[in-house]
Amino acid sequence: MRATTWRDKATNFLTIQVEQLVKADTEGELRLAMVDVRELIKDVLGGYLSQLDPDFDPRATKFPDLVQLVRARVPALLDQTAVDELIRLNAIRNEVVHRSHIPRREDVQAFVQLAIRLCQNTLVPPQPTPTLAEAPTATREEFPGQQPGEELEFPVMRRHWMKLLERNALPLGLAFVLLAFGLWNVFSHTAFMSVAVVLGSLLLSLIAVWMILQLYDWGNDSFIVTNRRVIRIERAYFFFEERHEASLRQIQNVSIQVNNPVELLFNFGDVLIETASRTGLIRFDGVPDPREVQIRIFQLIGHAQPRRKRKERLPWLARLLPFGPLVEDDVVTWHKHWIVLLRETIVPGLLLLALPGVFAFLTRAKLVPLNSITLLVVTILWLIDLLLFVRQYQDWRNDEYLVTPDRLIDIERIPFVFEDKKETSLSQIQDVRYEIPNLEARILGWGHVYIQTAGQARDFDFLYVPNPRAVQDEVVRRVAAFHAQQHMKEVRAQFEELHRLAHGEQQPMVAP
């Protein structure tokens, strides 16, 4: 019965492949599918003969010879019609590989049908399930509700200690004032010394109880990332507990928010996890190192790739004034159009140029005395204006829109104040459209690109980008390439599973 289940599983794999091949339209997809299916058939036949003769090496045998050998040794497995068909399709496959023949969907489907027949006849049933005595012993739970085989990707996270300090800043300040007032009364021997000491002690006791309750509440809330799901547990003292969780398969988008200079300085912030579950948005607020949490979650759901080293650096001028798309390795970065920079910097820029000239004119006309005080005032005003100019420039330059081979990223920063980084997998993108809002945008060549995702929280708006048509085309092209790559990964994973089954390799079994 178990062997039938495994055969059905293999058959279902290839049946799904047939359905996918019906939808395949490109010559490249059909070519790759034909190559993969031929390799699968060779693995199945070679694995079968290896079970009969452990010394047999299928890798050293050509495919037509392997087919004839299986026909000779196991006539029940292959009839002559199947042998002729395999040899014919193999010849077509060789012509396709050398690009002297255009692949046809009918040939690939014939290959797949033969592979299904072979897998049904050659699969080996798995080993029996281990007894309870052989089953691994249970381990202590690291968090409430931990499932068997579930492992933590991070230690159970709490909010950053600065969040606890924020909650208790006012009580701590009040306690300091009361303590200072009480000491003053004690050393001054005032008439109200005893009353002040009693009231101060009572207030300090209430503040201490409040701070202990805040510490308990801070320590009770936890954020958990495992190899299966993400969990947020919110407890309110002894009266209330709420738990939100979603499996990794339900995660759609992961973004981060750094809301103020304190969070930026101490490296903590919010991780926003958009899911397809009923919970919707799961917020990890105030967690340490939110970027690392975001990257790890993307890796767990299979939407992150190792960071590539940049092969070459762009010219310094292109980095200083990125008016067009920046392409480094396989990452494309867009900034807002130069008209946005001009609007934000024209006033402080003109003041930078005009202020020294105006001051020189006023002093020459003797309308303003030339002395150290006026020179200091003008210098301070000029430096303030310079800081405003640099701040506006950095605000423009720090806003970035990126597309990588597998992700879409929207970064908005205010230097030393705020950072909002939205990120999603290309698999979540549902619609991409652009808008050229007015005549000025059409003349100067800027517009908005709106990207709709499957996430429930926020979509992506690439605002004021140069050449919005090209931005839309690049995003659509990347999405199509990503889906094609994922499709080939799924096909190869299916073939690897069938290869494992054909050679009798077994997955570890766990006792129920």
DSSP string, 391-414: HHHHHHHH-EEEE-SSEEEEEEEE
Give strand pairing partners of 283.
272
One-letter amino acid for residue 67 of the chain: V
Grade residue 434 by pLDDT with cuts at 50, 70 and 90: very high
Q: Give the separation between CA 226 and CA 385, rounded to whole angstroms.
A: 50
Examine residue 409 and state whether it is found in any structural domain, yes or no: yes
Q: What value does the mean pLDDT take over residues 240-262? A: 81
Look at residues 255, 272, 300 and tell me which one is the last residue of a structural domain: 300
Q: How many CB atoms lie within 10 A of CB 457?
A: 16
User: Where residue 320 sits, what CATH number does that domain have?
Assistant: 2.30.29.30
Q: Give the separation between CA 418 and CA 270, rounded to whole angstroms.
A: 12
Full-model pTM: 0.53
Enumerate the H helices of 74-127 as residue ranges: 80-97, 105-122
Look at residues 300, 326, 354 and tell me which one is the last residue of a structural domain: 300
Q: At which residue do the structure tokens 């202990």 appear?
A: 212
Q: Give the separation between CA 460 and CA 452, rounded to whole angstroms.
A: 7
Residue range of the domain that includes 117: 2-128
Q: Angle at Cα 221 formed by Cα 219 and Cα 223, nearest 5°? A: 115
Statement to judge: residues 459 and 348 lie in one domain: yes
pLDDT of residue 296: 85
Examine residue 309 and state whether it is found in any structural domain, yes or no: no
The bridge status of strand 418-425 relative to strand 407-414 is antiparallel
One-letter amino acid for residue 446 of the chain: W
Structure tokens at 90: 């193999």
User: pLDDT at residue 322 above 80?
Assistant: yes
Average pLDDT of the chain? 77
Q: How many domains does the chain have?
A: 3
Closest among 72, 56, 71 to 118, alpha carbons compared: 71
At what angle are helices 80-97 and 63-73 packed, to 10 degrees?
A: 170
At what angle are helices 105-122 and 80-97 packed, to 10 degrees?
A: 130
pLDDT in tens, 65-77: 888 888 887 777 7
Q: Are 225 and 233 in contact (CB under 8 A)?
A: no
Statement to judge: residues 368 and 285 lie in one domain: no
Examine residue 495 and state whether it is found in any structural domain, yes or no: no
Examine residue 141 and state whether it is found in any structural domain, yes or no: no
Q: How many CB atoms lie within 10 A of CB 76?
A: 6
Question: Buried b / exposed e across 434-450, counting CB within 10 Å, b at 16+?
Answer: beeeeeebeeebbbbbb
Listed in sequence order, the residues at least 6 apart from 167 whose beta carbon sits closer than 8 Å to its beta carbon are 214, 218
Higher pLDDT, 377 or 127: 377
Examine residue 155 and state whether it is found in any structural domain, yes or no: no
Examine residue 152 and state whether it is found in any structural domain, yes or no: no
Grade residue 470 by pLDDT with cuts at 50, 70 and 90: very high
pLDDT of residue 485: 79
Structure tokens at 223: 């954020």
Q: What value does the mean pLDDT take over residues 214-222? A: 81
User: pLDDT at residue 446 above 90?
Assistant: yes
Mapped onto helix, strand or coil, the DSSP state of residue 315 is coil
